[in-house]
Structure 1
Amino acid sequence: MYTKLALLIDGEWIEETNAGSEIVLNPATEQPLGTLPHAGKAELDRALAAASRAFEGWKRTSAYERGQILRRAADLMRERVEHIATVLTLEEGKTLAEAKGEIAAAAEFFDWFAEEGRRTYGRVIPARLPDMRQTVTQEPVGPVACFTPWNFPAVTPARKIAPALAAGCTCIIKPAEETPGTTLEIARALTDAGLPKGVLNVVFGVPADVSEYLIRSPVIRKISFTGSTPVGRHLARLAGETLTLATMELGGHAPVIVAKDADVQRAAELSMAIKLRNTGQVCTSPTRFFVEHSVYEEYIEHARVFVEKQVVGDGLQKGTTVGPVANTRRVAAMDNLISDALSHSARLVVGGERLKATGLMYKPTILADMPDQARAMSEEPFGPLALIQPVDDVEQGIARANALPYGLAGYAFTRSAAIANRIAGELEVGVIGINQMVVTIPETPFGGIGDSGWGREGGIEGLEAYTVRKYVGHLHV
């Protein structure tokens, strides 16, 4: 059911190295799935050399031909969805239905950028002289290094690999060591689709060592990182030392504003459904809920009823709607944040503890009457935890939503166009969902501000992130 773990370097699958290895665990059973080889200096040097050499040919490959390979890879991912989704659920924990949806979404990123790569347009600038021609073109930035987390092991790598390859860049990716199999299956699809050797290389190892070695290499001309804000700050400093371009998609602590004119039941049920997607382990997960007083208790009751209907269990089991958290770190974080909130007089509505069952199962939890002093109001829970506060009006909700340095996603529910426009204009985030909660698809830009990072993935902006512009002024003599 699982997959064979290996490094992919210059077209070769490497199952053993002298740099050590680690065990990959199933969070639903806490049992081993396989042994993952690590890359040492020798393997990283080989990956860098392969990416550098392959870049010379790949950048000259037409955008049309590059797109054909990406589309074939997307088709293969869809053909293999049952297997890849099973691998994803085994190593990450989310339900099989969510895993299948993620594989489909990852394939869409390859489809989108396969086509968008053919539209890396330049422009002609009117010249001041009659015999002068001024043009601007986009060219691939060069070999890139990408670093992705464990919570979306298909979509997040796809959002980086697809635009990089479509733009004509080569790529070295270091996925999370806790969820390596899914990215390896994507790499297999690309290899089987005809991707030349060295264009994509997949490595694993000690994260700090691998990232620093790759970023300091003169071969790497851009990095793209998705992960925590502290790690992002560190990698940004390293990139700054070598003036390497960087895209940083970092942490969030997404607010939800519920106005008194909203459809309260729909708002509660939809926001809780999205809250529990991937067991709350999503950077855009709605976490801080600011609800106007007049509908506050009604909202809490609808949310409680919805959450109590959820079935927590192994993501491969039929009927499971919420899987385990991905690792013991998340269990400890949930315990600590909930305990701290209760010590500050928060009200426990539902959940609040780990299930007494096999695996890393945690009860979906709602805390109401949340005080600002509670750590969970300023620290991203990254788990199945919803924090609800009453507010006097939308203005106060906006103020509280903007109180943190994070600025990734935000949400709002209202029937008023005036309130919706005000929230859209004043909420300090990179993406906003109003009366709906889908804030990232392949054709739209995704990214944050402040402590949530910089740069955008997806949309035309996602492709441009892997290109540089060149101006040519040609005087005919």
Structure 2
Amino acid sequence: MGHLPHFQLFIDGEWSEGSDARVLTSENPATGQGWATFACASAGDVDRAVAAAKRVLDDPAWRDMTQTARGKLLYRLADLVAEHAPRLGELETTDSGKLLAETAAQTGYVADYYRYFAGLADKVEGTVLPIDKPDMHVFTTREPIGVVAAIVPWNAQMFLTATKLGPALAAGCSVVLKASEIAPVPMLEFARLIEQAGFPPGVVSVITGDAENCAIPLTRHPDIDRIAFTGGPETARHVVRNSAENFAVTSLELGGKSPIVVFDDADLDGAANGLIAGNFGASGQSCVAGTRGLVHRSILEPLIARIEEKAQAIRLGDPLQADTHVGPLCTAAQVHRIEETLSKAQGQGAVIRFGGKATDRPGNYMMPTLVQCTSPETETLQVEMFGPVMSLLPFDTEDEAIALANSTPFGLGSGVFTQNLARAHRVSKRIRAGICWVNTYRAISPIAPFGGFNQSGYGREAGIEAMLDYTRTKTTWISTAQEPMANPFIMR
């Protein structure tokens, strides 16, 4: 194990092992073999990181830095992210199994998120209030909310980090970034760019570790003011309970079972590509995966034929190769869970049109799979599997399609395919989800808010709204009266 690359924690501007010296090995999902080791944080390390983040809020080097200067640091970080995108993408692919073609490109695009928030850093303004008291001058200002605990999962981690770190730093907060203990290597390497960009020590610390020793002590820490969490609903419930200890403002970006509704007037090629993007893109390991395909009965078979034809050209293989379309899943447990779910679906009458099993090659590979369902209760339409599994269910009317689309406790992404503009507006308005893509799928931008409804969480990442969520409003009253305060026992 000693010959494997090793990655340390980044706390208060310094690189270190965890205080209890625990080290874990990260496996390459394409081979099933260990390829790197990393240090794990203890509760004591969490205390160090949070203490540094709290201290730096009162350090003139950060506290008194102008908003414009903070923006310039973020621009520098954006340039470094773009410059190192190939390296970070390669690390993420080796560590998580996601395609290099996507990880490198997505990391390069993530630089635009930092540029967006860099530009917003000196655009958040206060307001002079037209107060109803003539001898008062009253105005509001927005201040940094404080110490932020940013918790990101292993999938799309550069993107999900940027949507938290960008607005938090632009607002003047300090951040303890907790990477998943599954595939954390690119985040630990990313910390080097924070250092190179010139942020004062303590403004950002990057740690990783398990729930008991790292995540729980972080989310319940008394000096945490804001929690930004991306992950699953069950873990989120623990996060919310932990936040009762510190009353931290909390945002949750959780999972989903996103519907993609295909009407009978849809372009079949476009719809097939949208369903493939929503289910097989990122090997299905996406919180917005469109795993509930709802198709008008009259075009179900022609659409399936189109998907089957396109699926024959899908190349499953080494995620580091440029011509690969679907790589391995991050963990072997995902493969087993998908196989069990497919077995239950077949017992419920579902038909697997293609795929449906793991491959016999080394690594955590699952074949792209299409499941034709007859009931909305089919297991594959209910369970978030995080793998390349597409499930299709027919509908007959627009109202039925909308009812099926909304028959889930989740509400993150959704898709509508139709060439009828009125229908596009009508249906997208009625679907209960934070995002609706029409005649496309899986598009993102730093300008567009990202987040869900119901059990897909609350709060928004990206867009101006996200920036404001890392500030709090202060109201200042200044008396302009020439006479001293009158009766102290009567509220003005």
TM-score (norm 1): 0.97
1:78-97 alignment, distance < 5 Å: 78-97=82-101
Quote the residue 2:37 is aligned against: 35
Bigger drift between 38-47 and 287-296 goes to 38-47
Cα distance in structure 2, aligned partners of 1:433 and 1:2: 43
Quote the residue 2:338 is aligned against: 334
Pair 429,113 (structure 1): closer, same or farther in 2 beyond 3 Å: same
Quote the residue 1:153 is aligned against: 157
Contact in 2 for aligned 1:3/1:87 (Cα 8 Å): no
Cα distance in structure 1, aligned partners of 2:457 and 2:4: 34
User: CA RMSD, aligned part only?
Assistant: 1.5
Quote the residue 1:451 is aligned against: 455
Give the partner amino acid of 1:215.
T
Question: CA offsets, 1:260-302, max 9 Å, x none?
Answer: 1110121112320232121000000111011011111111111
Match of 2:404 among 366, 381, 400: 400
Give the partner amino acid of 1:32.
G
Cα distance in structure 2, aligned partners of 1:64 and 1:370: 57
Pair 130,318 (structure 1): closer, same or farther in 2 beyond 3 Å: closer
Give the partner amino acid of 1:24.
S
Does 1:24 find its partner at 2:60? Answer: no
Contact in 2 for aligned 1:2/1:90 (Cα 8 Å): no
Quote the residue 1:175 is aligned against: 179
Give the partner amino acid of 2:33.
Q
Contact in 2 for aligned 1:93/1:325 (Cα 8 Å): yes
Quote the residue 1:428 is aligned against: 432
Does 1:10 find its partner at 2:20? Answer: no
Cα distance in structure 2, aligned partners of 1:331 and 1:50: 40
Contact in 2 for aligned 1:59/1:140 (Cα 8 Å): no
**Cα shift at 1:42:** 2.2
Question: CA offsets, 1:326-383, max 9 Å, x none?
Answer: 1012101110111111111111111000011111111000001342232222111211
Bigger drift between 366-375 and 195-204 goes to 366-375
Does 1:112 find its partner at 2:116? Answer: yes
Quote the residue 1:270 is aligned against: 274
Pair 144,91 (structure 1): closer, same or farther in 2 beyond 3 Å: same
Match of 1:164 among 147, 157, 168: 168
Bigger drift between 176-185 and 444-453 goes to 176-185
**Bigger CA radius of gyration:** 2
Does 1:311 find its partner at 2:315? Answer: yes
Does 1:462 find its partner at 2:466? Answer: yes
Q: Percent identity?
A: 34
**Cα shift at 1:314:** 1.3
Quote the residue 1:473 is aligned against: 477
Question: CA offsets, 1:428-463, max 9 Å, x none?
Answer: 001110111144311111111111111111001111
Quote the residue 1:50 is aligned against: 52
**Cα shift at 1:391:** 0.3
Contact in 1 for aligned 2:283/2:387 (Cα 8 Å): yes
Bigger drift between 432-441 and 30-39 goes to 432-441
Does 1:371 find its partner at 2:346? Answer: no
Give the partner amino acid of 1:6.
Q
**Cα shift at 1:319:** 1.9
**Cα shift at 1:393:** 1.7
Give the partner amino acid of 1:237.
R
Contact in 2 for aligned 1:277/1:322 (Cα 8 Å): yes
Cα distance in structure 2, aligned partners of 1:3 and 1:395: 55
**Cα shift at 1:19:** 4.4
Quote the residue 1:98 is aligned against: 102
Pair 402,257 (structure 1): closer, same or farther in 2 beyond 3 Å: same
Quote the residue 1:186 is aligned against: 190
Contact in 1 for aligned 2:278/2:291 (Cα 8 Å): no
Pair 154,370 (structure 1): closer, same or farther in 2 beyond 3 Å: farther
Quote the residue 2:289 is aligned against: 285
Contact in 1 for aligned 2:18/2:45 (Cα 8 Å): no
**Cα shift at 1:4:** 4.2
Unmatched segments (≥5 aa) in structure 2? 482-492
Quote the residue 2:352 is aligned against: 348
**Cα shift at 1:3:** 6.1
Quote the residue 2:146 is aligned against: 142
Give the partner amino acid of 2:41.
A
Does 1:213 find its partner at 2:211? Answer: no
Quote the residue 2:204 is aligned against: 200
**Cα shift at 1:105:** 2.5
Give the partner amino acid of 1:38.
C
Give the partner amino acid of 1:335.
E
Where 2:300 maps in the other structure, the secondary structure is: helix
Bigger drift between 418-427 and 180-189 goes to 180-189
Cα distance in structure 1, aligned partners of 2:4 and 2:115: 26
Give the partner amino acid of 1:423.
V
Cα distance in structure 1, aligned partners of 2:66 and 2:130: 27
Bigger drift between 270-279 and 355-364 goes to 270-279
**Cα shift at 1:225:** 0.5
Contact in 2 for aligned 1:354/1:361 (Cα 8 Å): yes
Pair 424,325 (structure 1): closer, same or farther in 2 beyond 3 Å: same
Does 1:325 find its partner at 2:329? Answer: yes
Cα distance in structure 1, aligned partners of 2:333 and 2:447: 34
Question: CA offsets, 1:301-341, max 9 Å, x none?
Answer: 11111122111111112421111011012101110111111
TM-score (norm 2): 0.94
